[in-house]
A and B are shown apart, each in its own frame.
Chain A
Amino acid sequence: DVKVTQSSRYLVKRTGEKVFLECVQDMDHENMFWYRQDPGLGLRLIYFSYDVKMKEKGDIPEGYSVSREKKERFSLILESASTNQTSMYLCASSPRVGAGDGETQYFGPGTRLLVL
């Protein structure tokens, strides 16, 4: 079974703090993704990475950065947290394009972040 884990289920931070969200997958997947999930908006892609040290902006990258130093780990960084970044953050991984399994994405449990 694919397992995607996220470092925290719940986080409370103050405005202006630097926030690190970590994601680890154990299936040797090339692709990893960070989304935020907000009611009525579905999942919106923040950043993704298709290889170590590679990153691509998604639909809403402003205010975020990412790091992928190892294949299994993908970190999301909020450089200076703001109240509008209060949300549920989901990490996902998938095999590379053409690898089979239809490139299905597998999700972690999510981190619910509250910025005060």
Chain B
Amino acid sequence: AQSVSQHNHHVILSEAASLELGCNYSYGGTVNLFWYVQYPGQHLQLLLKYFSGDPLVKGIKGFEAEFIKSKFSFNLRKPSVQWSDTAEYFCAVKPLGGQNFVFGPGTRLSVLP
């Protein structure tokens, strides 16, 4: 069965620190990859996605993620976090041609002002 793991349950950073959230998946075939974000009290929204092409994808609010196929990883990065980035971040995988997403358990990010 497919699964998605996220390396950290809770990350605490100061403003302006750099961020990297790890995501690994287990699936042998071609996948579409996603990062979703859930700000406090708000609904899940798409941060960025990868389908094909350049493995470095850029999303909203200065986030980017790199797909490394050999490592089955899709890590999320941001060079300088802001207090407003405090949220929960979910990595998700969808096999190409499949209907369903598999979500990771989420990483809670707290940014201290």
A110 touches B43 (CB 8 A): yes
Chain B residues bordering chain A, tally (CB within 8 A): 24
Interface stretch of the complex, out of B45-53, B61-69, B79-87: B45-53
Secondary structure of the B contact surface, majority rule: loop
- Which residues of B have CB within 8 Å of A61? none
A96 — nearest CB in chain B belongs to which residue? B99
A38 — nearest CB in chain B belongs to which residue? B105
Bound-state CA distance A36–B43 (Å) is 13
Number of A-B contacts (CB under 8 A): 52
| Cross-chain contact of B43 among A31, A44, A107 (Cβ < 8 A) | A107
Beyond the given A33-B100, A42-B90, A45-B100, please list 15 additional residue pairs across the A-B interface where CB-CB is below 8 A. A33-B101, A40-B106, A41-B105, A42-B104, A43-B90, A43-B103, A56-B99, A58-B100, A90-B43, A90-B44, A98-B97, A104-B34, A105-B101, A107-B43, A107-B45
B99 touches A31 (CB 8 A): yes
- Which residues of A have CB within 8 Å of B34? 104-105
B98 — nearest CB in chain A belongs to which residue? A97
B42 — nearest CB in chain A belongs to which residue? A109
| Cross-chain contact of B103 among A42, A56, A106 (Cβ < 8 A) | A42
